[in-house]
Structures are given as structure tokens and as C-alpha cells.
Structure 1
Amino acid sequence: MKLSYVDIAHKLEMKAVTVGRAMKKLASGHLIIPAWEVGKTTFYRVNPLLNYDGRSAQQRAATYGVPVPLVPHPDQVAADKAKQEALEKEKEAAA
């Protein structure tokens, strides 16, 4: 399926800019990976390490050289959020 950010945004009732930011975050975590490029346009695919269903030899062949997804542990996400909130409170107190 080939969809532009505008097409995706329309289907999800979002702004294309928001879709673009989300795609960049997904790509930075290797959840989606570049499939091919046409000019300045990059087409992505879901990282096969996330969804491959088959025999192990087939999976190893299909995912050879694919970056491992970087999915943070939920505890780390919560700790990072708490740290960010504490920093924001310190800034407000200093102001």
C-alpha cells in the first residue's frame, strides 16, 4: 500500500505535519524502515522483525541486516516523563 502523508492524514483526520512527525519518530525507533526512495520521497515499510511469521531460517533470511527496533521499556518512559516534569517545575520555580 502506497500512501502519502497527506493521504494518511486524511484517513486519520489529522494534519499531514503531525503524520510526518509521527513517521519520523517511528523511523528513529526502527519500527518502520526505509523501503525505497523516489527523488526526495522516502517510502517506508514495517520492520519485519516486528511482524514476520514463518520458519526461523526464513525469518533470518528476510530480516538479515535490518536494524533492531528501539522500543523503550515502560518503566524508562515513566522515569523520563517524571524527570522532565521535575525539570519543568524547577524552571517555573526559578522564574
Structure 2
Amino acid sequence: MAKAERNTNIFHLLRIGKGLSIKELAEQLSITPAYIHAIENGEKFPSDRLLRDYAKALEVDESIIRNFREENCKDKKFEQILLSVLRMICDMPD
């Protein structure tokens, strides 16, 4: 996929949650920091292989990334979005 259709915020949220810099994650994934930045800004969406590697590097199930819907987070505060992601990761009810 050349353009991100969804899930753009999830990459940034999970990276920040793991305490990784863009450079650190780029090194783990063997891609450029610019590509990480493009993914986090919604300009690019990772291939299936890179998505699997992303999930592994961020220590989350791939389905967390695939099932996250950015449109469900409009008008929510950052903390609410993070809580939503944590619920997904921990399989907690809303």
C-alpha cells in the first residue's frame, strides 16, 4: 500500500508506549527513520512483512495494529486514545 488508509496513529502510540525513538525503531526494523516518520504521519503504510516486524518490535499482536481505527479516536484526548489502545492490548472490556 502506498498511502495509509487507516491505523496511522497506532504506530506512533505504540512506539511512544514502548519508549522507543524513531531512530531506535528504524534500526530494529532495518528501515530509515524517514520511513518511520512517513508511516506515523499517514503518508505510507507498511507492507504485510513490515507490519509483522513492527508488531514484533513493539511487542504487540499484529491484530492490534490491523484492528485499530483512527476514526474512532477523533475528538478524543490523547489519554483516552492511549486507554483505548491499552484495552485492546490487554483484551479489556470498554
- Compute the TM-score of the two structures, normalised by the length of structure 1: 0.34
| Structure showing greater relative contact order (alpha-carbon pairs closer than 8 Å, 6 or more residues apart) | 2
Higher-Rg member (1/2) = 1
- Compute the TM-score of the two structures, normalised by the length of structure 2: 0.34
